[in-house]
Chain A
Amino acid sequence: DTGVSQDPRHKITKRGQNVTFRCDPISEHNRLYWYRQTLGQGPEFLTYFQNEAQLEKSRLLSDRFSAERPKGSFSTLEIQRTEQGDSAMYLCASSSSDPLGGLGAEAFFGQGTRLTVV
């Protein structure tokens, strides 16, 4: 399978614990996105990378959240001191460089990591 892969698929953790999620994008894609989705809502932008550079981080994201993409390939999203409000689906997506000169390339999503904080 050469799609976007996320690990783990499900994570249950106790409040206050740290969790880390991994995303492996499609191999030739240089852009990688992280989103959070709760029931009945669309994906909420968290952050994104072009190669290893983190280009933007949502202002909605607290300092407990950090993401890395050290070699421009896979990425990790860490949540420290988890809270019940962090319970959500965390989606990763990747896309190639824009082939259309500004019209935007398709983003492919992984199946997500469902986090439950108890």
Chain B
Amino acid sequence: RKEVEQDPGPFNVPEGATVAFNCTYSNSASQSFFWYRQDCRKEPKLLMSVYSSGNEDGRFTAQLNRASQYISLLIRDSKLSDSATYLCVVNSGYNKLIFGAGTRLAVHP
């Protein structure tokens, strides 16, 4: 079983839609969690950290469920510019960052 698992998608949604991605992790000792965004042929960049109480940044909301070992990312009012691959990242201990395979999002007009 992979340490971090994501639905690969692709998710094809119209502009303005709300879309949610889920991610599960296997190491219950994991301490911190992130969502990164990666555009085609570019390097990954941090989108947001995921705090235990959940956090929101504009149209983006991240949630953590430690009991079920899953993390979610909600994008509201999707824009064309949101089209990218979203990578779930888990700090599995001693700051070793493990990436999921990514979920591809395509927002169309």
Contact = CB atoms under 8 A, between A and B. Distances in A.
A110 interface: yes
Interface string B77-109: 000000000010001001111111110000000
Interface footprint category on A: 20 to 34
Interface string A74-95: 0000000000000000010101
Contacts of A56: 94, 96
Contact of A45 (B6, B49, B96): B96
B99 A42 contact: yes
Leading 6 A-B pairs by shortest Cβ distance: A104-B32, A109-B43, A42-B99, A104-B91, A42-B101, A43-B99
Interface of B: 4, 6, 8, 31-32, 34, 42-46, 49, 51, 87, 91, 94-102
30 contacts: A35-B99, A40-B8, A41-B102, A42-B4, A42-B6, A42-B87, A42-B100, A43-B87, A43-B99, A45-B97, A45-B98, A45-B99, A48-B95, A50-B95, A55-B94, A56-B96, A91-B44, A93-B97, A95-B95, A100-B32, A103-B31, A103-B51, A104-B95, A105-B95, A106-B34, A106-B46, A107-B46, A107-B97, A109-B43, A111-B42
